[in-house]
Amino acid sequence: MDGMVPVSGRQRAVTGRALAILLFILVVSNLLASPVEGTTATATEGAYSFPLSDAIMSDPDGFLILVNTDHPLSSSDKPADLVNVSARKTSSTAIQLRKPVSLALSELFDAAKSDGLTLYIHSGYRSYQTQRDMFAIRMERLGYDDKMVQKAGASDHQTGMGADVINKALIGQRFGESYAGTKEGQWLAEHCAEFGFVIRYPKGKEGVTGINYEPWHLRYVGPDAARYMTDAGITLEELWEQWDAYQSGEWVGGGDDAPGAFVIDDGELVGGG
Interface contacts to Zn ion, rule CB under 5 A: 164, 217
Are the beta carbons of 160 and 124 closer than 8 angstroms? yes
**Closer by beta carbon to Zn ion, 153 or else 254:** 153
Closest CA to 164 of 209, 197, 103, 123: 123
**Closer by beta carbon to Zn ion, 52 or else 64:** 64
**Closer by beta carbon to Zn ion, 41 or else 214:** 214
At closest approach, how far in Å is the CB of 111 from Zn ion? 21
At closest approach, how far in Å is the CB of 158 from Zn ion? 11
Q: Count H helices, E strands: the chain?
A: 8, 6
**Closer by beta carbon to Zn ion, 57 or else 73:** 73
Chain length of the chain: 273
At closest approach, how far in Å is the CB of 128 from Zn ion? 15
Rounded-to-integer distance, Cα 105 and Cα 128, Å: 23
At closest approach, how far in Å is the CB of 126 from Zn ion? 9
The contacts of residue 78 (CB under 8 Å, 6+ apart) are 127, 128, 158, 160
3-state secondary structure of 270: coil
**Closer by beta carbon to Zn ion, 125 or else 187:** 125
Query: 3-state DSSP: the chain helix, strand, coil percent, rounded to 5?
Result: 40, 10, 50
Quick one: residue 114, left, alpha or beta (phi over 0 = left, psi -120 to 50 = alpha)? alpha
Give the β-pairing of 162-166 and 120-123. Answer: antiparallel
**Closer by beta carbon to Zn ion, 49 or else 150:** 150
At closest approach, how far in Å is the CB of 218 from Zn ion? 8
Measure CA 57 to chain center: 11
At closest approach, how far in Å is the CB of 32 from Zn ion? 53
